[in-house]
Amino acid sequence: MYSFRRSLGVLAFISLVSFGALAQSTGSSSNPPAQDQTQPQAPAATQSQQGPVTVQARIKARRDARRAQAIHDTYAHLYEVFVGGGYQRFLPGPALQRNTMYSWDAAITRYYSEKLGITFDGRGYYGTAYVGLNSTSLTRPAISHYDVLVGPVYRFRMRPKYSLAGSVKGGVAMGNFTGDTNGFGSAVLGLFPDGTTYAINASFIGEVNISPNFSLRLAPEYMATGFGSSIQADPGFTYGFVYRFGKQ
């Protein structure tokens, strides 16, 4: 009887120890999955943050590529032809007031890069000078001058829709101031004498592109001439149409 009770006590002790060991092993084995569940969350958060940035970068890169291609298609032409008109406030004589001159203007530019070119420009100006009361019956004779210019042009801002450029040209100006004086000459009326002299032109050119080959131009400028052995600095502007052709 005593041995039977002893055997039951041993079996109960062994059962308690086995149950405790099993519970400890189950608790310890359940902890790693919790850690495994938390570890993959960091890469997922990183991907969610980097994903939109990568998409935006790709969209910006495609937009920049399209813009660069549009600029190249517009400004990589070899030649540019300008046809238009102009306006100038011209000094017709040393003691006379400035008068308004209107002109035609035609030019061709040969480009050596998308920014730099050489322009050949020809234009004619026509107006009426007010000479005041004098010994003749003439008070408003018609005058004109013609200019041939050449010089560099440089585009310093190029966009698909517009461009800004500067140009400096030099050449000759041919004045006709006595054609409407009925033979009295220019001295009696206070006009500059007829003749050929130098001409220097500086202009700021703005163009709005209608298409890669066609644009509208407006160019404020100053023209310096040397009629009558003096210097005239005449403000004005030109305007007109530009056609581009050929490939560099």
Least confident of 59-63, 121-125, 145-149, 155-159: 59-63
**Is 173 within 8 Å of 199 (Cβ atoms)?**
yes
pTM of the predicted model, to two decimals?
A: 0.74
All structural domains of the chain with their residue ranges: 1-39, 76-247
Phi-psi region of 152 (alpha: psi -120 to 50; beta: other; left: phi over 0): beta
**How many CB atoms lie under 10 A from the CB of residue 219?**
22
- Residue 170, pLDDT > 60, answer yes
Measured distance CA(76)–CA(94) in Å, rounded: 46
pLDDT at 24: 52
Q: pLDDT tens for residues 79-123?
A: 999 999 999 999 999 999 999 999 999 999 999 999 999 999 999
Residue 18: CB partners within 8 Å, gap ≥ 6? none
- The CATH classification number of 76-247 equals 2.40.160.20
Residues near 213 by beta carbon (within 8 Å), at least 6 away in sequence: 77, 243, 244, 245
Across the chain, what does the average pLDDT equal?
A: 85
- What value, to the nearest 5°, has the Cα angle with vertex 55 and ends 51 and 58? 140
pLDDT per residue over 209-229, tens digit each? 999 999 999 999 999 999 998
How confident is the model at residue 53, as a pLDDT?
64
In order, the DSSP letters of 176-221 are E-STTSTTS-HHHHTPPPSEEEEEEEEEEEEEEEEETTEEEEEEEE
